[in-house]
């Protein structure tokens, strides 16, 4: 199954990307570096995420924009996953694109506490502070079921 692998590094030295991957400097969030690789394999080091949605204009991570936004969330056990995924894929991803979060991809994982992750190319470094994004940001009717979220802003290092 298609997905991505993330290997985080706290070292000062820039890591090397594997084939099909890219190296990112962490601008906001934990760690110094992320190596993100598109992969179909379940083995290897790092965090593995299965792709569950890809917007029609999505690109491989090796062709990502200069800035990338990643959001991981945890949800309550009573979440209606089918309704949530339908809303996220068909309403939320399309409505944040005009606000500067483009080429959205969504993932699921078996990582405890992080069942969902979304990855977007950002138009600019300050996209997250825009008024346009403020108008469409959030989880709407699903907000009570989102218990934890982690936002990370990355910058390509090549």
Q: Which domain holds residue 98?
A: 48-156
Pairing type for strands 21-28 and 33-39 reads: antiparallel
Structure confidence at residue 1 (pLDDT): 59
In a domain, 17, yes or no: no
Cβ atoms of 103 and 58 within 8 Å: the answer is yes
List the CATH number of the domain containing 80: 3.30.70.100
In a domain, 7, yes or no: no
In a domain, 55, yes or no: yes
Domain tally, the chain:
1
Q: What is the pLDDT of residues 6-34, one digit of tens each?
A: 999 998 899 999 888 999 999 999 889 99
Structure confidence at residue 20 (pLDDT): 87
In a domain, 21, yes or no: no
- The pTM (predicted TM-score) of the whole model is 0.95
In a domain, 110, yes or no: yes
In a domain, 57, yes or no: yes
Cβ atoms of 121 and 93 within 8 Å: the answer is no
Cβ atoms of 102 and 57 within 8 Å: the answer is yes
CA distance 91 to 98: 12
Residue 42 has pLDDT above 80, yes or no: no
Cβ atoms of 59 and 66 within 8 Å: the answer is no
In a domain, 116, yes or no: yes
Mean pLDDT of 58-65: 96
In a domain, 111, yes or no: yes
Q: What is the pLDDT of residues 123-153, one digit of tens each?
A: 999 999 999 999 999 999 999 999 999 999 9
Quick one: what percent of the chain has pLDDT higher than 90? 91
Structure confidence at residue 56 (pLDDT): 95
Q: What is the pLDDT of residues 67-79, one digit of tens each?
A: 999 999 999 999 9
Mean pLDDT of 70-95: 97
């Amino acid at each position: 199954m298609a997905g991505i692998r993330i290997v985080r590094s706290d070292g000062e030295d820039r890591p090397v990307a594997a084939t099909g991957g890219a190296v990112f400097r962490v601008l906001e969030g934990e760690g110094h570096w992320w190596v993100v690789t598109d992969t179909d394999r379940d083995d290897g080091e790092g965090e593995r995420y299965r792709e569950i949605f890809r917007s029609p204009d999505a690109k491989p991570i090796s062709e990502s924009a200069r800035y990338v936004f990643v959001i991981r969330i945890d949800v309550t056990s009573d979440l209606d996953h089918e309704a949530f995924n339908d809303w996220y894929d068909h309403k939320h991803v399309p409505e944040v694109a005009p606000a500067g979060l483009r080429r959205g991809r969504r993932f699921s994982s078996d990582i405890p506490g992080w069942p969902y992750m979304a990855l977007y190319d950002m138009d600019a470094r300050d996209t997250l502070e825009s008024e346009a994004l403020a108008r469409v940001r959030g989880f709407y009717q699903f907000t009570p079921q989102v218990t934890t979220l982690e936002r990370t802003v990355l910058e390509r290092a090549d």
